[in-house]
Structure 1
Amino acid sequence: MEDLIKTLKDYKVAVVHDWLNGMRGGEKVLEALLEILPDADLFTLLHEPGSVSERIENRKIVTSFIDRLPYKTNHYRHYLPLFPTAIELFDFKEYDIIISTSHCVAKGVRTPPNTLHISYLHSPMRYVWDMYEDYFSPDQIGWLSRRIIPMFANYLRMWDVTSSNRVDHFIANSAHVAKRIMKYYRRSAEVIHPPVDTDLLPVSAASEEYYLIVSALVPYKRVDLAVRTFNRMGKRLIVIGDGPEKADLHRTGAKNIEFLDWLPNEQLYKYYSGCKALIFPGEED
């Protein structure tokens, strides 16, 4: 690792991440990359100061015009049709290597001919491909959205495929994602699994009478499936996380299901070590 860091110091490197507004799985990968790349600049669509770890916050962060639009804190997803333009406006003429971590548009940056672009992909743009119906089913969106969204989705699919040709090397976070990269982009990808800090999460012998979900509360995580299942089972379930589905999940969950906001790592580890089982209902995870 030290030899790799010394070698990379001879090059000007930029890291591109979709957005910075919370510490989830993608941001854990970003943290690990920034540890390897201590001098790299960080580019992102938008940044909510104080929402990510100190290692990320202390980096030089360059944001797009999305970061200056109104209501971007809670409604940034509504600007999705503008994301391709925003990511393409970044200028990387001075950089030798670009490393993008992407589940949306970060892999679509424009780079000079002699710049190497490596993309660590968490997923092709899931809400316009295989999970389109999960995000935009008729019971989730209104009459006007049902007529507008398909047109934007078609444009985003075309852009997503076209921009995949700008990547020199793809890395997938799992074999499942590598298959989807081949399916939608017709590109091969090497699989490198996300980092896990085993020192902070030792094996625990404790087993209390609750099950645990730690997740962003978004459609593809399928937390709704777990809530319906535990409603029927009556067993205690603790859900830790936040996201646009939180209110609906809260409303449908029975008394045996407890919802908590994101917690500091020290508290989170206690829930991990004490749970009877960790529940992962989403296919992608």
Structure 2
Amino acid sequence: MKVALVHDYLNQYGVAERVLEIFHKLFPEAPVYTLIYDRAHIPDHFKEWNIKESFLKKLPFVRKHYEKYFFLMPLAIEGFDLNNFDLVISISSAWSKGVITLPSTIHINYMLNTMRFAWDSYHSLVKARKGLTKILLALGLHFIRLWDENTSRRPDIIIAISKTVGKRIEKFYGIKPMIIYPPVDTNFFTPDERIKKEDFFLIVSRLRPYKRIDIAINAFNEMKIPLLIIGEGSMKGRLGRTANRNIQFLGKRSDEEVRSFYRRAKALIFPTFEDFGIVPLEASACGTPVIAFNGGGASETVEEGTNGLFFYPQTPEALMDTVLNFNSEDFNIQNVREVSLKFSKKQFIENFRRVIEEITKNKKI
């Protein structure tokens, strides 16, 4: 069986790319088709893969300003010739589901999210522009939405990463997807009971506006409790200027360092509405409980009283109330970890293999 993998962009290393790595281990001979491949931001071992980049690579400044070429993305993704493959697996938050395949080819789409900028963020994006730019953007996104809805019918099956994303798929495309949660590396993220908990709370996050790290900053400023923040992003300067001395920004850290901080923290703070959110599960795998906003993916991965607590609404006051009532002695390390094991790599691979076997059997490849 000839297999191809399709991925929106290879220009950062996050959850999507870790999922792609798992698929590539399952099908090591499979070529990877992607719109953009920025080698500077992807681990070196990807260079050993057979990666096929779209014509967009020839355009000026595409590595840094790829989003400005959104109107060419449908053309680029449809330009991949996949006629020689029996199975195509696409990992998509926007474009990859739109590849063109033969009726005899099985196309499985693993959807990280619907096209956020064309649906959820449409009005805010258009309102931020003026004059002709505003008109052209609104018109362009209108046609992108039509393309997006139309191409949702191209895969034989769509699998969502969470119930949160599944609801968007149902709303925008009228399709009820299967749910398979992305994996956390429970073999790497483990407890170490020789390490004692220290007197600090922890955030691990990209520092972007939608992450709502400002909620945690305001809450911990008021409480004067130590908070360590790992991560980089456009909001770092602004957040740093508002943070008091009890809050430290540690920048980007290696996976080994992050694991060490997970193990030593009293709890992870997760104030974000995420589509899924792998960080709470990494902390849980290390035996560290989570204090999370009760919305989005965290509501599917945090079991209140077992591996964490919720706060609601998404305000500093609600977070403060939960933190001040948090007692680490209420949580057993092994019970906390047990929740994460439901999302292990082994479980993910078993779930996906079952889908592939079922659909290939029905289509008689």
2:26 is aligned with 1:36: yes
Flag the 1:130–1:53 CA change in 2: closer, same or farther, 3 A. same
Distance in 2 (CA, whole Å) between partners of 1:224 and 1:77 is: 26
Contact kept? 2:9, 2:37, Cα under 8 Å = yes
Task: Kindly indicate which of the two structures has a greater share of residues assigned to helix.
Answer: 2
TM-score (norm: length of structure 1): 0.84
Aligned partner of residue 271 in structure 1, secondary structure? helix
Of 168, 178, 182, the match for 1:190: 178
Deviation at 1:21, TM superposition (A): 1.6
From the CA coordinates, give the structure whose radius of gyration is larger: 2
- Per-residue CA distance 1:162-218 (angstroms, 9 max, x = gap): 110111111111122122211111112111111121121112554333333323344
Q: Letter of the aligned partner of 2:24 in structure 1?
A: L
Flag the 1:131–1:247 CA change in 2: closer, same or farther, 3 A. farther
Partner of 2:41: 51
- Per-residue CA distance 1:221-269 (angstroms, 9 max, x = gap): 3334444444444443333334444455445545444334432221221
Distance in 1 (CA, whole Å) between partners of 2:208 and 2:71 is: 19
Q: Letter of the aligned partner of 2:116 in structure 1?
A: R
Partner of 1:74: 64
Flag the 1:190–1:247 CA change in 2: closer, same or farther, 3 A. same
2:257 is aligned with 1:267: yes
Q: Letter of the aligned partner of 1:275 in structure 2?
A: A
Partner of 1:175: 163
Partner of 1:7: none
Once the two structures are superposed, the pairs formed by residues 226-237 of structure 1 within 5 Å of their partners are 226-237=216-227
Deviation at 1:92, TM superposition (A): 0.8
Flag the 1:190–1:155 CA change in 2: closer, same or farther, 3 A. same
Partner of 1:136: 125
2:138 is aligned with 1:150: yes
Distance in 2 (CA, whole Å) between partners of 1:132 and 1:126 is: 8
Distance in 1 (CA, whole Å) between partners of 2:71 and 2:245 is: 39
Q: Letter of the aligned partner of 1:181 in structure 2?
A: I
Aligned partner of residue 165 in structure 2, secondary structure? helix
2:95 is aligned with 1:108: no
Q: Letter of the aligned partner of 1:143 in structure 2?
A: K
CA RMSD, aligned part only?
Answer: 2.5
Flag the 1:66–1:32 CA change in 2: closer, same or farther, 3 A. same
Deviation at 1:108, TM superposition (A): 1.1
TM-score (norm: length of structure 2): 0.67
Flag the 1:158–1:143 CA change in 2: closer, same or farther, 3 A. same
Deviation at 1:29, TM superposition (A): 1.0
Deviation at 1:147, TM superposition (A): 4.4
- Per-residue CA distance 1:76-108 (angstroms, 9 max, x = gap): 222222222211111111111110111121111
Distance in 1 (CA, whole Å) between partners of 2:241 and 2:129 is: 20
Partner of 2:323: none
Aligned partner of residue 11 in structure 2, secondary structure? coil
Aligned partner of residue 142 in structure 2, secondary structure? helix
Deviation at 1:155, TM superposition (A): 2.1
List alignment gaps of at least 5 residues for structure 2.
277-365
Distance in 2 (CA, whole Å) between partners of 1:194 and 1:216 is: 19
Deviation at 1:276, TM superposition (A): 2.4
2:163 is aligned with 1:163: no
Partner of 1:5: none
- Per-residue CA distance 1:133-175 (angstroms, 9 max, x = gap): 5x6385xx45355444333322222111111011111111112
- Per-residue CA distance 1:98-140 (angstroms, 9 max, x = gap): 101111211111112211110001111122223445x6385xx
Of 263, 267, 272, the match for 1:277: 267
Distance in 2 (CA, whole Å) between partners of 1:37 and 1:246 is: 39
- Per-residue CA distance 1:32-73 (angstroms, 9 max, x = gap): 111111111001111111422344332111111222322223
Aligned partner of residue 45 in structure 1, secondary structure? strand
List alignment gaps of at least 5 residues for structure 1.
1-10
Identify the range of structure 1 (262-271 vs 211-220) with the bigger mean alpha-carbon deviation: 211-220
Percent of residue pairs identical = 39
2:114 is aligned with 1:127: no
Distance in 1 (CA, whole Å) between partners of 2:65 and 2:159 is: 30
Contact kept? 2:126, 2:138, Cα under 8 Å = no
Distance in 2 (CA, whole Å) between partners of 1:244 and 1:117 is: 36
Distance in 2 (CA, whole Å) between partners of 1:142 and 1:255 is: 38
Contact kept? 2:215, 2:271, Cα under 8 Å = yes
